[in-house]
Every structure is written in C-alpha cells, then in structure tokens.
Amino acid sequence: MSKDKDRSAQMDKIVALCKRKGFIFQNSEIYGGQNGFWDYGPLGVELKRNVREAWWQDMVNMHDPLDAPEGAPDKFQMTGVETSIIMHPQVWKASGHFDLFSDMMQTCRQCKKLFRADHVWEMIEESEWFQSLAKECGVAFGTQLATIDSAAILQWAKAKKQGRRLAPGLAVVRNPEVTLSWLAEHQQSQPNQPLSAVDLLRYLATEQKNQTGLQTPCPNCGGDLTEPRHFNLMFETHTGALQSDDNKAFLRPETAQGIFVNFKNVVDSSRVKIPFGVAQIGKSFRNEITPRNFTFRSREFEQMEIEFFCHPDTSPQWYKYWRDRRFAWYTSLGIGNERLTLRDHDADELSHYSVGTADIEYQFPFMAEGEFGELEGIAHRGDFDLRSHMEGKLQAKDGKLEVQLDEHGQPKWRGSGKDLTYFDDQAKERFTPHVIEPSAGADRATLAFICEAYYEDEQPDDKGNMQSRTVMRFHPRLAPIKVAVLPLIKKAGMPEKAKELFRNLKSAGIAAQYDEQSAIGRRYRRQDEIGTPWCVTIDGQTVEEDNTVTLRDRDSLEQVRLPMDEVVNEISNRLRST
Amino acid sequence: MSKDKDRSAQMDKIVALCKRKGFIFQNSEIYGGQNGFWDYGPLGVELKRNVREAWWQDMVNMHDPLDAPEGAPDKFQMTGVETSIIMHPQVWKASGHFDLFSDMMQTCRQCKKLFRADHVWEMIEESEWFQSLAKECGVAFGTQLATIDSAAILQWAKAKKQGRRLAPGLAVVRNPEVTLSWLAEHQQSQPNQPLSAVDLLRYLATEQKNQTGLQTPCPNCGGDLTEPRHFNLMFETHTGALQSDDNKAFLRPETAQGIFVNFKNVVDSSRVKIPFGVAQIGKSFRNEITPRNFTFRSREFEQMEIEFFCHPDTSPQWYKYWRDRRFAWYTSLGIGNERLTLRDHDADELSHYSVGTADIEYQFPFMAEGEFGELEGIAHRGDFDLRSHMEGKLQAKDGKLEVQLDEHGQPKWRGSGKDLTYFDDQAKERFTPHVIEPSAGADRATLAFICEAYYEDEQPDDKGNMQSRTVMRFHPRLAPIKVAVLPLIKKAGMPEKAKELFRNLKSAGIAAQYDEQSAIGRRYRRQDEIGTPWCVTIDGQTVEEDNTVTLRDRDSLEQVRLPMDEVVNEISNRLRST
C-alpha cells in the first residue's frame, strides 16, 4: 500500500511536469477540460513525432526486404497506407464491431451516472464514501469480516457529513432500518460465517432484497446500479445533410480495417508478394465510459498497426517472430526489461481460430505494484478479417468459422463479395492469407517512454550544495531536443561562438536549442528536466585559447572537452550509435 | 472548351495513375466507396509523409530563432502542438462555428437530394438531362436564346429515353402543356427579348408560376429545389453513453482552434516570447454536401496550420511576410509560377478587423482554363480569436468587435473567462496579440504536387522505337522513392553488387528500391511513372572492370558514370542541394 502510494505520488509529479514543461495538456482546459481528450504541447509534439518516426523507420522505411532478419522465417516486404477515419458503415458490420464492439455498462438508478461493469468495484474502493465507511466501520476489501458492527454502520449512515453527504443514494442511508434488517436476517441464518466486504456492500445497497436480490452500489452516490448492458464504443455521426439511419457513420475504433479493405488495392498496385506487411499510423476513437489514468485510456488516441499477410502454414512462425520483435522494439528505445512483460493469452482467452495472442505490458506508476498495463497486442488472426470482408460477418460454430445468419436464414451482415484471396504465382496456389497483427498505441508508448524517463536524484549546484534534480532520461532518438548550446556567460564573444555552433547543428538536421538565460547550473537542470541528452558549453577557453568546448552527458554527467568543429560529427555519431 | 476537355482528360489519367500505382484509392472501395473520403496507398503515404515533413521541417524544426529571416520584420520563434479532433463544444460556440459555419443548401422536392446552392448551376450544366436537352433543343449556357423551339422541347420532354428517363422530376416532363404555357405567356409579353439558358431552365422547372415564382431545377432529376437554407458543416457526435444535447460534440472543422485555446499553455510552458508561431498538422472534417474533384473537396482532410502571434502594431508587416513566404514554399517544391497565383481578397471580402487575406491558388487540371483552386489561405485575423475565447462569441458592430448578445441581453455564447492577453516584460506592456494564420491543406498540397508532376513525353525503347512515357516529376524532397538500384541482368555477379549498394543507401536513410525484374528500359519507365529521381544501374563494367555504375536522371535522362562507393554521397548531396 505504501509502495502504491509512492507510485501514485510519482505519477502526480509526472502529470505536473508534463503540463509545466509543455508535454501534455488537458484538452480544452480553459473551458474546464474534456474527459478522455488530451493535447500535446511544444515538447510533447516533438516527442510523439519521434515515437511515430522511430516506429515507421524501424518497421517500414529501414526494413531490408532482400534478406530474412534475425529470427524471421523468411525475407519479407513492408509497406504502408493511410486510410480515412470515417469508413463505409458496412465495414464495421462485416468486421463484427457493429454488433460486438461494446463494453458492459451499468447505470445508477439514483444519480443516472454510467459505469463500466468491470471497473465498478475498483471505483467503489477509490470512492470517497467507501473510504469514509471503511474508516468509521472497519471495512476493507480483500478481507473476510467475521463481525459486522451494525451500530457503527447505522451511525455512519445517519451522520450528516458521512453517509448522508457522501452516499445519498445508498440504501442504508436512504432507509437504514429496513436495509440493515436484511443484513441482520442473513447474519442470523448463517451465524459464524464471515462476510466479504463486497457482500456487505451489496447488502448495504439493497432495500428490498426479496424483490430485487442483492444490488451493486454506485461508485458515485451509493445508489443501486442496473444490470450490465451492452454499450457500443464506436462514436456515431452522419455523413451528408440528413440525419437518418441511412447515412449513419462511425469513427473508426481501430486503424486495422482500413488495411484489410485495401488488401487487394495494395497487392494490385505495389508489386508486393506474400509474405508482406502493411503499416498504418492514425487516430482512432473509442467512446470509453470511464476514461482515466492520464492518456492511458482516452477517447481519442493514435494507433500504430501492422497487418502482416502470410501463408497459413507459416503463420505460427510469423506470429512468434512479430511477438519477439515488437517486444525488443520497446527495450531498444530504453524501456527497462523489469518493467516490461510479454504476456501470452491462455488458450481459453483465445479466439478459436487464433494460434496465439500476446500483450506487451508496461508497469505504469498509476498501477498497483506488480500490475501492468497494455502497450501493444500481437494477435494471430487467421483468415478471419479477409474472409469477413469477402463473405460477411463470421462467427465460430463447431470449431469452424461460418457466416452468421439472421432469423430468416440470410447473412446477418454481408461482406463486399469481392475476392480477397491471393494467388502465389510461383507455387501456383490460391489461398486466403493469414494475418499477424502487431497493434501498438502511440499515446500509450509515448506515456510509457515518459514514465520510464522520469527520474529524480541529487546533484551539487553551482555553490556545491546538494539540490534535487529531475531528469527525463529519454532515449536520444526520442528526446525532443538532442543538444543544448550554452554560452557560459552572455559576453566576451561567447554568445557569437555559441550561435555559430547552434546554426551548424540545425543545418545538420539536429534538434538543438540555444539558451543564454541564467546561471549555467540552472540551465543544465532546465535541459535535464526536458530530457536533452547533451549540453555543449562555450567558455573562455573556447574563445581565448583553443576553440574547444565541453560536452556534458545528461545521465553520466561526464563532461568531455573537444574541438568545437567536431561537435556536429560527435553528436551525429552518438545519435546513430544509440 | 477543347482545352478544358484536354485538361479533364489529363485529370482522368492522373486519377487512374494514382490508383494503379498505389498513390490514392477511393475509401472503402470494395463496399462501393464513400463519397468524399480517400485513402493513401503505399506510395501515396510516403508522398504525403514527405509533404508534411517538408512543411514541419521548413516551418518549425529548421527555423532559426536567432536572426530575422529575409523579409521578416524581426527574429521570431516557432513551435508546435498536436491537439485533439474532438474538443469541448463551447469552443465552437465561442469561435462562431456553431452559428456560422454553414453552407447554403437546397433540397429537391422530388428526389430529396441535397445540393450546395452555389454549385447547383454548374452541376446542372454537367448533368445528363441537360446535356440531352441541349443537344436536342439547341440550348447552351452563356448564350442568349433569341428563339425558343417549344416544339422540340415538348418532344424531348415526352420522349421515353430523353426527358422522361433523364429528368422525371422536371415540371415540363411531368406536365408539359401547363409548363410550356407559362413560357409562351412570357414570350408574348416580352417579344424579341432573348432569354438566357438559366431563365429558360427555370421556366421549364416551374409548373405553377403564379403560386411559386420561377423554380430552380434539380441537377439530378430536374425536380424543383427548395429555397436555400443554412446547413452546418460540422460533423456531430456524442461523448459518453447517452445521446443528448448535453453531450453533443463536434469533429473539428479546422485545427486552428486547438492552437488558440492552448495559447496560454504554450506561453507558460515553453519560454516563447512574442512574436512566435505555433504550428499544427492534423485531420479536420467538414460535412460537405457535394464533395468532388478527387481529393480537392473531401469530407475528411488534413490541415497544416500556423497561428502566428504578434504585436498589433507590427501585424501588417507580419501578414505580408507570411503571405510571401508561404507562396515561395510551393515554388521551392517545384510548383511552376505560371500555375500558382497569390490572390489578395478585395477590401469588401475582408472581415472588418482584418488587414488582409490572401489565397494561394493552383490551376488544377479539373478546373477550366484560367481558373484556380485554393491551396492555402493566409489571413490577418487581428485579435478576433483570442478575444472570442476570453469574452464569448464576437460580432462586428459599428466597425468594432463586441460580444454578441441574445434576446435577454446576455452573451449568446460565453468565452472561457480566462485571461489570454500577453505581457511583454521588456516593454512592460500588456496586450491581446494579433494573429496571422497561414492555413494550408495537406491533401490539396499533395494533389497539387501530383498534378504538377504529371508529364508525358516520348522516348526510344530498348530497340530504338519511340514509346510514350509517363513521368511523375516530383521534387526530389517529395518523391516517395529517391533512388532505384538496378542490376542490368540477373546474373554475372550484378545482383550481389546491386544489393550491396541498395543496403548502403538504406543505411544512410535514403529511400531506395531494388528491382531486377524485366528489361532495363521497362524498369526505367516503371521508376519514371512513380517519380523516382535517380536510377543506378550495375552492369558488366561494374563487376568486371572498375566498380563504376551509371546514374540516370529522370528529367534530363542524362547518364553519368561514377564509382559505386561514391553513390551514397552523390545522392545525399543531390538531395541536400535541391
């Protein structure tokens, strides 16, 4: 618990730094903000651009199609597309999103608020009313309560600043005597049997047990929640001027479908041969009921997805290749192995057509010790997607995929009817390709890189006193600014020299910043806080003696002296070799 | 007219090439497509990435904040943001989009189709029914019709395959005798007065002139259109689970507002001082009634916008600077001066608070000879936007901007109430900055670069016969592939050499393609058609004699011989110097 508190305090500091330094702002903040929407500030946009660029370079542009990379079953080609956010509505019917892309949701009968069913108990635990109840009446999650202090509960329920203010909707607050009588009845019928906190809370939320059964309390007001109902997560809109069912459209909940429906176009236009991958970066939208954890679960987010098309026989090997390769990508950009896991889904979690699905997860500071949050999923999807867009919405039946029929025996949602099979002209074989899908979140990756980079230590200031220092230890490829150029003082020819170097760095395409304001120690700390890997300082020796400068490393704090005209090369080399 | 036909035929060829070579596909094509939505294919995505990257590099990353660039009144800083597509709905109320961002629209009373009022006559002229009527009855736009051949019109209206099939809604088809009687009456009352084609068509669309006045015919079926009505172009959606007016949200119709509402955040977090610019690239959405002209007018599109904040006194100079600088950007990337114009809005087109607005326009082939389409607008916006987000929706009154009030004398739409003024700590002066807005379309720029690049000539093939050649003469910075590496034949050690060079180019970050399929002449033409500026060929001399290769230029067709190990440097230098 105290470790979790440390983690949560650290997350608060990260969020504050993100705002203070211009990484991430709440969207529409001056209007009170919008839940689940975030903006990237001046440094954030460069960081996120670097994340996207690293992914696109590593996956697409720098890929060598002439040889099999280490661990790959064969050589392969990589290419990209950029498809629109609003697609034909039939795409989502055939893909299954229209029917199935939903969360179970519960509404409070008292305050009318909505909650994701699988988040309710966690939110109750975090709620103000539960914290108060727990304190006053000795209730805690995860324990069995041998004795129930009904008198304390009654007092809490009736107290103006406790139950009545914090949980006005809770049955035991609205009607304490009747509610507690059900609890008493239970206690009498099953004496000596301990009660879990969850069960106790369900009793306290239930006024008329005989009619309704036990209820679940609302995390907000304590009121009773409806049964869980499906709620589709796709944002709806309409194209054209009239708003009718005929022109209803959806904001894509994933970029993947844009690749599937263009499979034939890509094959026909670009001379790729199977195996090949198609990459896409773009925004997706999910109307999350409870967006939270900073940018981790937001309603508008950016994905980096690959659909890799291969022969069914080799698809298990390709699955394994992508799973390992994508894990290695995060560590190559500085995520520590100890905070990253590769979790294979159990057999019973898998769709029956899938050979495997694995999640790459990161231990975000907003999670409890030992818990991880998904950064990327790598899924073996078989031929499910291409077949759906050929034949119509598929469902599993008797271990096979078949088209789902409506009550009249007609296909419930038709596919395109177009041929999306592939003909291998070497092997003279026609088949429906299998698909491996590494699906990463650009905002989640960015957030993980931010959390991983955050670091505090103590360093002596200009006078030798120890001062706490915040450092963003970004991988140099990701750092928004690669190098700061600092004249030691604002005179004696130093600024002129420094500006000359600054311009040479910019001309070489290196993101540089020039800063001559305030004492040198403060300027170093300013660069540390935004994650600049290197600082170059121009001092008296540069101007008066030998044209050498100092190059300071953000992490080791080591300073080396080198000729000023070697700086551009040195920084370029360091960037290349990281 | 024949020149326009040539232009239109050329546009058809460009659209076909875009699909065939994987630049641009119709979105959701396998499902019949979606009007106004487009996807970028494997080459298109790299082209568009290069357009965006050229803009961001030239405007933000390579900008030197230490000196005033040529033509600029002062030095200035440039930075960026990336804000979300769905913003707080109040943003659009304060900005005026909620009330005013609309097109005038007309609906057909017969077929119920919708049309933009300002497109109707153009669409009528292009319609099948008008073409048929024009042919049979000698009607043409732009001429005055001295005599009206009522007999021919009657015959056309009654003919099964003419009026009755093509324009079933047209009044003269539904009720020929009554309709023509109004026309005859007019002719009698004003003999010898010629009639324009527009007037004639309005008579043919009018059954009960006394009751309705003259009607406008529907471009689709000839039926009569309603009066023009306002239609808001913002796509609507809802955030959260319930669909009510309380949680109605909009897809942004421009990226600009994301910058304005973050003005304070950027100033507070990034140490910029006025004058400075904030750049943003991102998707915007407009629910166009009649999307058309390929990607030119689409419903989902990408913008590249800068909001440049400056002191009111110097804003006219900054306006002029940005206007000229943005024009020069297009020519620096290869757009010919003769097809690009900078059109200053007339004084009566300007908002009264604006010193000036200019459009950069390109002569797209889908437009008539001498007509131009907007690529970018540069607007002097005064303090309109920041003040709106402070005070509420503004309107012009007596030459001043003031908050618009509702019927109760209350602000119609409130602003944020936050202070968005700026304090200049050198001059000790507080003011509301003025804004210069260069607003470019990424898709329109991409389309202009595609149209500009398209070129046909004749070149001898391998046997010396003249063959037509299609070349995409992209500027090297924009070309999706910079260099192709081609072994002359598939043996004698040439592929090995070529692959070695290919890998060296890739390692240097140069987009290269390796191709060993088919005759060398055909491979050259393949690269010409996708706009690759340079081809390197490895031949017998490379392997057997001196390790030299030929380097062929796409445009001049010049071939030079150089040592293979100089190729990477040579290409890098050529890329840098273009």
Q: What is the pLDDT of residues B296-324, one digit of tens each?
A: 999 999 999 999 999 999 999 999 999 99
B19, B24, B25, B28 alpha-carbon torsion, rounded to 10°: 170
Q: Tell me which long-range contacts A514-519 makes (C-beta under 8 A, separation of at least 24).
A: A514/A484, A514/A485, A514/A486, A514/B65, A514/B66, A515/A484, A515/A485, A515/A486, A516/A486, A516/A487, A516/A490, A519/A462
Indicate whether A218 pLDDT > 50. yes
Cis amide prior to B275 (ω within 30 degrees): yes
CB contact under 8 A, B84 and A237: no
User: Chain B contact for A505, CB < 8 A?
Assistant: no
Q: Does residue B477 belong to the interface with chain A, where contact is any CB pair within 8 Å?
A: no
Q: What is the largest CA-CA distance in chain B?
A: 93
Within 13 Å and on the Cβ side, how many CA atoms surround B563? 4
Is residue A335 domain-resident? yes
Helices (H), B461-566: 494-507, 520-530, 540
Q: Give the phi and the psi of residue A268 in degrees, each rounded to 5.
A: -70, -25
| pLDDT tens per residue across span B398-413 | 878 899 998 899 999 9
Taking residues A83-97, report their average pLDDT. 96
Tell me: pLDDT of B539 over 50: yes
Vertex B226, ends B223 and B230: CA angle to 5°?
140
B208-211: long-range contacts, CB 8 A cutoff, minimum separation 24: B208/B178, B209/B182
Domain shared by A249 and A215, yes or no: no
Task: Check pLDDT > 50 for residue A250.
Answer: yes
Among candidates B83, B237, B418 on the partner chain, residue whose Cβ is nearest the Cβ of A235: B237
Q: Which two tokens stand for residue A184?
A: 């008493």
Residue A192, pLDDT > 80, answer: no
Q: Between B429 and A465, where is the model more confident?
A: B429
The verdict on A425 touching B (C-beta cutoff 8 Å) is no
Distance, in Å, from the CA atom of A122 to the CA atom of A136, rounded to the nearest integer, reads 20
Query: Which chain B residues contact residue A45 at CB under 8 A?
Result: 80-82
> Using the beta-carbon criterion (under 8 Å), do B82 and A19 form an inter-chain contact?
no
Residue-wise DSSP of B101-155: -EEEEEEBTTT--EEEGGGHHHHHHHSHHHHHHHHHHT--TTSEESS--HHHHHH
Supply the CATH number for residue B539's domain. Answer: 3.40.50.800
Residues 513-532 of B with CB under 8 A from A: 514
B91: its two tokens: 């943003």
**Separation of alpha carbons A127 and A406, rounded Å:** 44
Q: Which structural domain range is residue B189 located in?
A: 105-229
Q: Looking at the complex, report in whole angstroms how far the Cα of residue A31 sits from the nearest Cα belonging to chain B.
A: 5
**Buried (b) or exposed (e) across A308-325, using 16+ Cβ within 10 A?**
bbbbeeebbbbbbbbbbb
Judge contact between A469 and A498, C-beta under 8 A.
no
Q: Which range is least confidently modeled, A326-330, B83-87, B138-142?
A: B138-142
What pLDDT score was predicted for residue A1? 47
Q: Taking CB atoms and an 8 Å limit, are B82 and A45 in contact across chains? A: yes
Nearest to A105 among B48, B105, B241 (CB): B241
Residues A523 and A438 in one domain: no
- Asked if residues A226 and A106 have their Cβ atoms less than 8 Å apart, the reply is yes
| Structure tokens given for B69 | 């660039």
DSSP three-state, residue B557: coil
Asked if A206 and A258 sit in the same domain, the reply is: no
Mutant choice from A30, A39, A46 vs B, greatest count of B C-beta within 10 A: A30
Helix, strand, coil share (%) of chain B residues, nearest 5: 40, 25, 35
Share of residues in chain B with pLDDT > 70 (%): 99
Contact yes or no for A269 and B236 at CB 8 A:
no
Q: Per the structure block, which two tokens stand in for B483?
A: 């260099």
Q: Among residues B180, B208, B229, which one ends one of the domains?
A: B229
In a domain, B466, yes or no: no
pLDDT digits (tens, 9 = 90+) for B430-469: 999 999 999 999 999 999 999 999 999 888 877 888 888 9
User: How far apart, in whole angstroms, are the C-alpha atoms of residue A514 and residue A564?
Assistant: 15
Q: Do A244 and A319 fall into the same domain?
A: yes
Nearest to A28 among B88, B251, B499 (CB): B88
Tokens of A366: 């907003």
Which chain B residues are Cβ-neighbours of A36 within 8 angstroms? 239
Burial of B466 (0-12, 13-18, 19+ CB in 10 A): exposed
Both B110 and B80 in a single domain? no
Confidence bin at A526 (pLDDT 50/70/90): very high
Residues of A in Cβ contact (< 8 Å) with B239: 34-36, 235, 287, 299
Q: Where are the alpha helices (DSSP H) in B310-456?
A: 315-332, 384-391, 442-453
The answer to whether the CB atoms of B84 and A503 lie below 8 A apart is no
Q: Based on the domain organization, do B494 and B420 belong to the same domain?
A: no
Same domain, A314 and A444: yes
Are the beta carbons of A514 and B66 separated by less than 8 Å?
yes
Cα separation, A334 vs A91, in Å, equals 38
pLDDT of residue A137: 86
Asked whether residue B186 carries a pLDDT value surpassing 80, the answer given is yes
**Whole-number pLDDT of residue A543:** 92
Asked whether residue B165 carries a pLDDT value surpassing 50, the answer given is yes
With an 8 Å Cβ cutoff, is A419 touching chain B? Answer: no
Residue at B309 is within a domain:
yes
Opening angle at CA A363, ends A362 and A365, nearest 5: 130
Q: Give me the pLDDT at residue A144, please.
A: 78
Q: Are A67 and A251 in contact (CB under 8 A)?
A: no
The type of residue at B414 is: R
Do B287 and B401 fall within a single domain?
yes
Element at B183 (helix H, strand E): helix B176-189
Whole-number pLDDT of residue A2? 66
Pairing of strands B300-310, B340-344: unpaired
Which H or E run includes B51?
A: helix B42-56
Q: How far apart are CA B191 and CA B171, in angstroms?
A: 23
DSSP code for A27: T
Q: Please give the pLDDT value at position B1.
A: 47
If one counts every other C-beta atom within 10 angstroms of the C-beta of residue B126, the result is 11
Inter-chain contacts counted by CB atoms under 8 A, chains A and B: 239
- Asked if B28 lies within 8 A of A61 by C-beta distance, the reply is no
Q: Is residue A459 part of a domain?
A: no
What is the structure's pLDDT at A399?
A: 78
Same domain, B563 and B523: yes
B151 touches chain A (CB under 8 A): no
Q: Give the mean pLDDT of A321-349.
A: 93
* CB half-sphere exposure, B44, CA atoms < 13 A: 29
Does A533 sit behind a cis peptide bond, omega within 30 degrees of 0 on the bond before it? no
Q: Is the dihedral of CA B399, B404, B405, B407 positive or negative?
A: positive
Residue where one domain finishes, among candidates A229, A263, A280: A229
**In the structure encoding, which two tokens stand for residue A454, read together?**
């955050």
Q: Measured between alpha carbons, how far is residue B397 from residues B390, B402, B405 in Å?
A: 18, 7, 12
CA distance B307 to B372: 25
- Picking from A184, A210, A229, the residue at the C-terminal end of a domain is A229
Judged by phi (left if over 0) then psi (alpha if -120 to 50, else beta), residue B528 lies in alpha
Best of B56, B66, B84, B280 to mutate (most A CBs within 10 Å, chain A): B84
What percent of chain A is predicted at pLDDT more than 90? 74
> Is A469 part of any domain?
no
Give the Cα separation of B489 and B494 in Å (integer). Answer: 7
Based on the fold, state whether residues A345 and A222 are members of the same structural domain: no
**pLDDT at B139 > cutoff 50:** yes
Q: Per the domain annotation, does A454 fall within a domain?
A: no
pLDDT surpasses 90 at A187: no
Q: Is residue A466, in this structure, part of any structural domain at all?
A: no
CA distances, B345 to each of A256, B95, B357 (Å): 43, 22, 6
Residues on chain A touching B269 (C-beta within 8 angstroms): 19-22, 41-43
DSSP A522-539: HHHHHHHHHT-SEEEEE-
- Average pLDDT value for residue range B177-201: 85
Q: Identity (one letter) of the amino acid at B110?
A: Q
B12-21 average pLDDT score: 96
Question: In angstroms, how far apart are the furthest CA atoms of chain A?
Answer: 93
**Structural element, H or E, at residue B269:** helix B263-270
Number of independent structural domains in chain B: 3
Which residues of A are less than 8 Å from B299 in CB distance? 86, 239
* Alpha helix segments (H runs only) across A395-441: none
pLDDT at residue number A436: 97
Cβ distance A463 to A351 under 8 Å?
A: no
Q: Answer yes or no: do A86 and A111 share one domain.
A: no
Q: B504: distance to nearest CA of chain A, Å?
A: 11
> Which runs of E-coded beta strand occur in B195-334?
195-196, 229-232, 236-238, 248-250, 276-285, 300-310
Angle formed at CA B300 by CA B295 and CA B301, multiple of 5 degrees: 65
According to DSSP, the residues that pair with B276 across neighbouring strands are B77, B309
Mean per-residue pLDDT of chain B? 92
The pLDDT, as a whole number, for residue B80 is: 98
Tell me: do B161 and B206 sit in the same domain. Answer: yes
Nearest alpha-carbon partner for A26 in B272, B310, B97, B416: B416
In-domain check, residue B473:
no
Count the neighbouring beta carbons within 10 Å of the beta carbon of residue B410: 10
Give CA–CA dist B280/B440, Å, rounded: 10
Average pLDDT, integer, range A464-493 = 94
Judge whether A438 and A305 are in contact, CB under 8 Å. yes
Instruction: Identify the three-state secondary structure at position A424.
Output: strand
Spatial CB neighbours of B44, under 8 Å, sequence gap ≥ 6: A81, A82, B18, B22, B23, B24, B446, B480
pLDDT band at B119 (very low <50, low <70, confident <90, very high): confident
